[in-house]
Amino acid sequence: MKVNGKELAVEVTGEGPVVLLVHGLGGTSNFYQPQVAALAERFTVVRPDMEGSGRSTVRGRLTIQGFANDLADLLTSLDAGPARVVGHSMGTITVRLLAATHPELVSHLALLGAVPAPLPEAGQQGQHDRAAKARAGEMPAIADAVMGNATAEATRRDHPATAAAVRELVLRQDPEGYARSCEALAAAPDPGPVDPELPLLLLTGADDGVGRPEVSQALAEAHGAATLDVLADCGHWTALERPVEVTEHLLKFF
């Protein structure tokens, strides 16, 4: 689909009010596959592969603002606003910026595994280091590290197919697109506080070492009326590691 003058892979499923699902670094639209069937019974589910991820190629420098602009153009092109918007990981920064700059396009905001913005200095350097590894042909090592460090021990032990799916999502990324996405995350701006009038749902894993629970807790406290749930035995890949709970929360919230 043509979005902001570029071709993005976009899947649209179901009928009804629009739910926009935005993946994070190393993800694709398939990150939300466990939620699609239930959501599509009541909503039109829109899932883009962001530029440089999955089936969407990369053209130039990537930025969080550019991602947010693409989402705004996508929703406008589909005449889909205001939409219920979900973001994961890096996508939580993108959708927060979308809500801040285009409030008319967002009716509800759900953040899965929210990460800080901007990243701390060590986190920024870590993303630059990861970009260099991607360009050096080390995507298998990156995928192994993500699977091992960003999923919960319980997931790797009791649901090895889920851990394998996380590895495959990362391993199948275009190295240059992934590297530029890492650099976009390293330069992520502070999107500011979430409007207290905007309904806000925060879901994170108790074992999430990337989007630590305290990040979501701080966002909830600043908002004042958010719904927050910290999921036990769950790491950073929330929608895959705890699919039933995430689906139930989203249906109730929307």
Q: Is the pLDDT of residue 47 over 90?
A: yes
What pLDDT is recorded for position 222? Answer: 97
Question: H or E element: which one contains 222?
Answer: helix 213-223
Are 184 and 63 spatial neighbours (Cβ–Cβ below 8 Å)?
A: yes
Question: H or E element: which one contains 148?
Answer: helix 139-150
Q: What are phi and psi of 189, to 5 degrees?
A: -85, 170
Across residues 9-28, what is the average pLDDT? Answer: 98
- As a whole number of Å, the end-to-end CA separation of the chain is 26
pLDDT band at 198 (very low <50, low <70, confident <90, very high): very high
The answer to whether the bond into 196 is cis (omega within 30° of 0) is no
Across residues 186-214, what is the average pLDDT? Answer: 98
Question: H or E element: which one contains 147?
Answer: helix 139-150
The C-alpha R_g of the chain, in whole angstroms, comes to 16
The 83-88 sheet, strands edge to edge:
10-13, 44-48, 18-22, 83-88, 106-112, 200-205, 227-231
Across residues 70-77, what is the average pLDDT? Answer: 98
Helix, strand, or coil here: 3?
strand
251 by Cβ neighbours in 10 Å (0-12 / 13-18 / 19+) ranks as middle
Instruction: List the chain domain ranges.
Output: 2-253
Q: What percent of the chain has pLDDT over 70?
A: 100
128 by Cβ neighbours in 10 Å (0-12 / 13-18 / 19+) ranks as middle
Entry pTM: 0.98
Q: Is the pLDDT of residue 81 over 90?
A: no
Helix, strand, or coil here: 21?
strand
Are 210 and 217 spatial neighbours (Cβ–Cβ below 8 Å)?
A: no
Structure tokens at 189: 């701006």
Across residues 153-160, what is the average pLDDT? Answer: 98
Across residues 60-87, what is the average pLDDT? Answer: 97
221-246 pLDDT, tens digit per residue, is: 999 999 999 999 999 999 999 999 99
CATH for 2-253, options being 3.40.50.970, 3.40.50.1820, 2.40.37.10, 3.40.920.10: 3.40.50.1820
pLDDT band at 148 (very low <50, low <70, confident <90, very high): very high
- Mean pLDDT rounded to a whole number for the chain: 98
* Locus of tokens 């589910």: 45
pLDDT band at 119 (very low <50, low <70, confident <90, very high): very high
